[in-house]
Amino acid sequence: MTNTVVVTGFEPFGNSTINPSQEVVNKIKEMQLDGLKVETAILPVVFGESSAKLLKLVDEIQPNFVICLGQAEGRSVISVERFAINLNDARIADNAGNRLSDQEVIPGAPLALSSTLPVKDIVQSIKDAGIPAEVSLSAGTFVCNHIFYALQHKLQVTNTKSGFIHLPVLPEQSEFQGKPTMELDQMVAGILVAIRSIISN
């Protein structure tokens, strides 16, 4: 039986012209992975629009697994998120100029929802491959967390396993001078390990 996995990234945002999550997804899109059907998408960094596109994709494809990727400037390792929180609270405006503050992602829904991916196993598998990784408790309160929460809320009564992984910035992102970076090939390798870990679980 062939498993179907959806892997998403984001377009650049803020002062950036590149987003590591988009670059990783573009690399994975070109690959043939044994026993896997991989569907990919690049999401807009816009509250509402991003989650609508993601949930529509999930409805259309009905995947076994969903892995969403995003950029986290300041982080030095691949961070596998444990919880999505029901809060939109933006430090900067999204790509449509929205700067939401103290708003629930889904009004009246639980404060937090857990990833349904094997978070600790994924992190250990990535570390075993010689790539820095960590368990992270929260995906923040920007658009990354927004789609993560919307996704977990939608899929909580289904058999589809889903979650979110944050990536460091790339060395060529000079707008983040002084921030930790990771090479693209290492990120791609780490996410491929994560996919295999998820399937084997």
Q: Which residues are catalytic?
A: 81, 144, 166
Closest CA to 87 of 68, 72, 109: 109
Tokens representing residue 28 in the block: 């994975």
| 155 phi/psi in degrees, rounded to 5 | -95, 5
Alpha carbon distance 73, 131 (integer Å): 18
For residue 74, count other CB atoms closer than 10 A to its CB. 10
Three-state DSSP state, 69 = strand
